[in-house]
Amino acid sequence: MASSSSLKPIFSSSLTSSPSPHSPQKPSSLLSFLHSTTSTPISLKLSSNPPHSNSHPRSKSFAVTNVVLKTDTSPETTSVPSNYSQDLGPPLTKPTILVSEKLGEKGLEVLREFGHVECLYDLSPDQLCSKISLCDALIVRSGTKVTRQVFEASNGRLKVVGRAGVGIDNVDLQAATEFGCLVVNAPTANTVAAAEHGIALLAAMARNVAQADASIKAGKWQRNKYVGVSLVGKTLAVMGFGKVGSEVARRAKGLGMNVIAHDPYAPADRARALGVDLVSFDQAIGTADFISLHMPLTPATSKVFNDETFAKMKKGVRIVNVARGGVIDEDALVKALDSGIVAQAALDVFTKEPPPKDSRLVQHENVTVTPHLGASTKEAQEGVAIEIAEAVVGALKGELSATAVNAPMVPPEVLSELSPYVSLAEKLGRLAVQLVAGGSGIKSVKVVYKSARDPDDLDTRLLRAMITKGIIEPISSSFVNLVNADFTAKEKGLRISEERIVVDSSPELPIDSIQVQISNVESKFASGISDNGDISIEGKVKYGTPHLTSVGSFDVDVSLEGNLILCRQVDQPGMIGQVGNILGEHNVNVSFMSVGRTVLRKKAIMAIGVDEKPDKEALKKIGEISAIEEFVFLKL
Ligand SMILES: NC(=O)C1=CN([C@@H]2O[C@H](COP(=O)(O)OP(=O)(O)OC[C@H]3O[C@@H](n4cnc5c(N)ncnc54)[C@H](O)[C@@H]3O)[C@@H](O)[C@H]2O)C=CC1
Ligand SMILES: O=C(O)C(=O)COP(=O)(O)O
């Protein structure tokens, strides 16, 4: 007999639980993929569905084709960019993009074609926090601190932070990830500008250009005081052999310098190709006449140049920093300059920008300074502006960004191939969790992907994120998207393990089937438990549509559209008719029916796809059919 709990949607009560501080309100029923808020959620675009699936019947075709920004009916609604969404449905809102630092005009043009752009420079932290809840995207350079408070104040609306440049040390990435906000940067367009500035500082420092310039302007003519040192034949240590570092190395080689580099992560062959030896940190700083810094500011590189490391340097070393001020302990540098360990320093970046007016470092006579000008060429600023504008617009459209900093980068061809499986993954997660009996804490989920392809060829991050979303969203108030899926699972103590099994099927298809198993829980539907004691369901994509193909140890075949009723019954004639009649009497449209059985005339599972949720009376009548042993209604 059907249990009484089968008569109500499973977990309905938990849907009303209060939102977590990290989680704004839940989105409507579309698959929100990157981000969603009450105002402008981003969702996977369903091929022929209107954006608001609450108010429109679901289309039969459920292939996920793209990710789009979902509709918004807030008062700021203006016109809709032509490429914003081709879907039908309520009017869409132009996203609001806040630009908080000077951005090249060409980039602004790209942004204006897509959204409502507000350029507000020099905002105080409080002003930024009060503005941000009205913004879908924020574009910054190095001067804006995008702190946890900014994400909190955004109230879930901020979907993407674009850093118009390389260094993202001014953005709290952990907070961005927790809030499901994508961070993108523009990593390539200012590389040459930064490298050229490094070389400019190197040469200017060696020949006292800045000091001599100030002296002559002060009416002096001090030719003996400003005798410099030559670069040719000297050893330059490039610390951080990435994009900028390697361009500096290339140029320094052209100046006749002997270049060594230290970078724990750089491939040796890339260095060798430029005639550069990769060496240890101590070797680099111990042998160099000049040291040029090009590593990111991270917890590992913070103040890595300090009393201890200055003491290991060759006396009279000269240091250039166009990376980040924070990699140097500035007090230690002043001491090293005073003691003569460091003969000169040329600094474009500072721990605090702008540095205090009375900074001993800035005022030091052997120090040359510029106000963070590394990326400031016309060419670089134009390039960076276009690069970041395109990245931000792409992210707002829901495309996966090639310059995402806090989300996996999924190449477009992989994304398009996996699209139908993305939908399948979320639905399987959603179904599996609804089979769990209330009160069972879900701790461990295993996902088994069967595929004819080599397991290494299958990038499952996207699928795992969607399964996580399917499992977590029905039972909590959290949003889950590609950015925060792993974080949210961890935060909720949910361990998701994955197994890839090679099967003999068509290698044309990336995946043959996906199975979701939930261990150590009780089920509201005993037949959903497989022989190993786990809740287990499996699905496939058939004709581009997600299908449920097994429940527990029963095979079924039902398209995952609308909602689903699963019944376990005695395998006997007339069952389909009896249930079908009840649903018909209650005006519930049946889209699919499938019966799977273990032993002929013993037990069977009937899976019934229904467009509408049957009312209580209909569910009660189904439960009263004597041959039905248990049943469950599942919302997709
Ligand atoms: N002053 C300015 O206006 C500009 C400053 N920059 C800064 O320059 C730096 C480098 O930028 P890109 O070359 O574009 O970045 P990148 O990511 O291409 O290169 C950074 C390199 O540092 C290496 N690295 C990481 N940890 C390290 C460590 N502990 N020791 C040595 N190397 C380490 C990485 O392996 C990588 O190869 C960044 O800090 C960036 O913010 C970049 C552009 C303009
Ligand atoms: O790209 C970087 O990392 C830079 O430091 C450039 O900073 P900016 O955009 O000029 O404030």
Q: What is the chain's length?
A: 636
Close Cβ partners of 382 (under 8 Å, ≥ 6 residues apart):
104, 105, 106, 107
Catalytic residue list contains 324:
yes
Q: Which atom of ligand 1 is nearest to the CA of 194?
A: 44
| Model confidence at 396: pLDDT above 70 | yes
The mean per-residue pLDDT over the stretch 431-460 comes to: 88
| Model confidence at 600: pLDDT above 80 | no
DSSP assignment of 75-99: TT-----TTT----SSPPPPPEEEE
Per-residue tokens: 211 = 């000091």
164 in contact with ligand 2, CB cutoff 6 A: yes
How does the average pLDDT of the chain come out, rounded?
A: 83
CB atoms under 10 Å from CB of 113, counted, come to: 13
Model confidence pLDDT, tens digit, residues 79-134:
223 333 333 333 458 999 999 999 999 999 999 999 999 999 999 999 999 999 99
- The one-letter amino acid at 404: A
141 in contact with ligand 2, CB cutoff 6 A: yes
pLDDT of residue 423: 92
Under the banding of pLDDT at 50, 70 and 90, the label for residue 234 is very high
Catalytically annotated residue among 109, 113, 308, 353: 353
Q: What is the DSSP letter of 343?
A: E
pLDDT of residue 599: 65
CB 198 within 8 A of CB 244: yes
Q: Which atom of ligand 1 is nearest to the CA of 327?
A: 39
The 8 Å CB, 24+ separation contacts for 82-91 are: 83/114, 83/397, 84/114, 84/397, 85/45, 85/51, 87/45, 87/49, 87/50, 87/51, 88/50, 88/51, 89/50, 89/51, 89/52, 89/56, 90/50, 90/51, 90/52
Q: Is 59 or 405 the better-scoring residue by pLDDT? A: 405
Cα(239) to centroid(ligand 1), Å:
9
Under the banding of pLDDT at 50, 70 and 90, the label for residue 605 is confident
Measured in degrees and rounded to the nearest 5, phi and psi for residue 623 equal: -65, -25
Close Cβ partners of 419 (under 8 Å, ≥ 6 residues apart):
44, 63, 64, 65
The ligand minimizing its distance to the Cα of 192 is 1
Model confidence pLDDT, tens digit, residues 178-198:
998 999 999 999 999 999 999
Cα(361) to centroid(ligand 1), Å:
23
Nearest to 185 by CA among 12, 176, 19: 176
The highest-confidence range among 332-341, 416-425, 571-580, 586-595, by mean pLDDT, is 332-341
163-172, 316-325, 406-415: range with lowest mean pLDDT = 406-415
Task: Give the DSSP H or E segment for 129.
Answer: helix 125-132
- Tell me the percentage of the chain whose pLDDT exceeds 70: 84
Cα(204) to centroid(ligand 1), Å:
22
Peptide bond connecting 354 to the previous residue in cis, omega within 30 degrees of 0: yes
548 in contact with ligand 1, CB cutoff 6 A: no
Which residue is closest in CA terms to ligand 1's atom 19? 242
CB 10 within 8 A of CB 431: no
9-23, 127-141, 541-555: range with lowest mean pLDDT = 9-23
Question: What's the start-to-end Cα distance of the chain, in Å?
Answer: 24
Q: Is 456 exposed, middle or buried (0-12, 13-18, 19+ CB in 10 A)?
A: exposed
265 in contact with ligand 1, CB cutoff 6 A: yes
69-83, 268-282, 512-526: range with lowest mean pLDDT = 69-83
Q: What is the largest distance, in Å, between two alpha-carbon atoms of the chain?
A: 109
Catalytically annotated residue among 262, 324, 464, 547: 324
- Tell me the percentage of the chain whose pLDDT exceeds 90: 62
Per-residue tokens: 254 = 């052209």
CB 388 within 8 A of CB 163: yes
Cα angle 94, 96, 100; round to 5: 155
pTM score: 0.73
Q: Is 467 exposed, middle or buried (0-12, 13-18, 19+ CB in 10 A)?
A: buried
**What b-and-e string marks burial along 322-340, b requiring 16 or more CB atoms within 10 Å of the CB?**
bbbbbbbbbebbbebbeee
Cα(309) to centroid(ligand 1), Å:
19
Which residue is closest in CA terms to ligand 1's atom 23? 240
Catalytic residue list contains 372:
yes
Which residue is closest in CA terms to ligand 1's atom 3? 374
Under the banding of pLDDT at 50, 70 and 90, the label for residue 416 is confident
**What is the distance between the alpha carbons of residues 314 and 81, in angstroms, rounded to a whole number?**
60
ipTM: 0.99
Helices H, strands E: what count in the chain? Answer: 18, 24
Model confidence pLDDT, tens digit, residues 488-511:
898 888 999 999 999 988 878 899
pLDDT of residue 55: 28
CA dihedral 201→204→206→208, nearest 10 degrees, is -130
CB 553 within 8 A of CB 468: no
Under the banding of pLDDT at 50, 70 and 90, the label for residue 409 is low
The highest-confidence range among 89-98, 292-301, 399-408, by mean pLDDT, is 292-301
Site to substitute for ligand 2 among 372, 373, 384, most atoms within 8 A of C-beta = 372
Under the banding of pLDDT at 50, 70 and 90, the label for residue 441 is confident
Site to substitute for ligand 2 among 103, 122, 141, 298, most atoms within 8 A of C-beta = 141
